[in-house]
Amino acid sequence: GTRRKIDRVLSHYIQGICSNFISETEADCTNSGKKWFKCPEDFPHADSAVRNGIAHIPVCYTDRNYAERGWGPPRSWCVPSHLISYGPKVAEQIHQGLGVVCERKFRAVIAEEEKSVDKWKKRAQDYKKTLDSDLSAVSQVDKKADQWGKTHGEKKMKQQLQTEKDKEKKWKNLAKEYRQQVEQDRGSAEDAMKKLQDALKYMNSG
């Protein structure tokens, strides 16, 4: 086959196959309206030239050297399922066990991982709910604490006010008692003065 630029850059292999067998990159392949088949993890090296003799269809290989020369031992290559119809020979060789249909080896693992991720997401969501609930509870406690603080503060102020009122009442009572005493003393003094005047009048009249 004709050697392409990418063959030199990537040592004669690329990591996928375009359905037109010409495009060298996924971008070129999709831009030309064709489909790009990425080689799977266990067959990572794509044959980059139509020189493998398998119905002229590029395949993915397990080894870089096989990809470079365009052929390999039994089960060293795979063909994307969409490309099998391009050559009956390929299907026949796969049936004989010489090659296999490309599969994503880790698809099951990825699916399992996705399940695990979903499980952890759910746990995270549950945890978030619990956390939100806890935060809500904390918020309620904070509100209660604020209310208690305000109530306690008001209660303290009321107590202080009552104490001041009690003091005021006490002083008022003392002042009242003092006034009464003064009035009593004044009454006694007036009474004594009257008696003295009466005595003087009596003395003068004799």
One-letter amino acid at 55 equals: A
Tell me which of 86 and 76 has the higher pLDDT. 76
Q: What is the pLDDT of residues 141-192, one digit of tens each?
A: 878 878 887 877 788 888 888 888 889 889 888 888 888 888 888 888 888 8
Q: What is the pLDDT of residues 115-131, one digit of tens each?
A: 777 788 888 888 888 88
The Cα 52–Cα 163 span in angstroms is 106
Mean pLDDT of the chain: 79
The Cα 149–Cα 146 span in angstroms is 5
DSSP helix/strand/coil, 33: coil
| Entry field: residues in the chain | 206
The count of other CB atoms within 10 Å of the CB of residue 172 is 10
The Cα 108–Cα 89 span in angstroms is 29
Q: What is the pLDDT of residue 73?
A: 92
Q: What is the pLDDT of residue 137?
A: 80
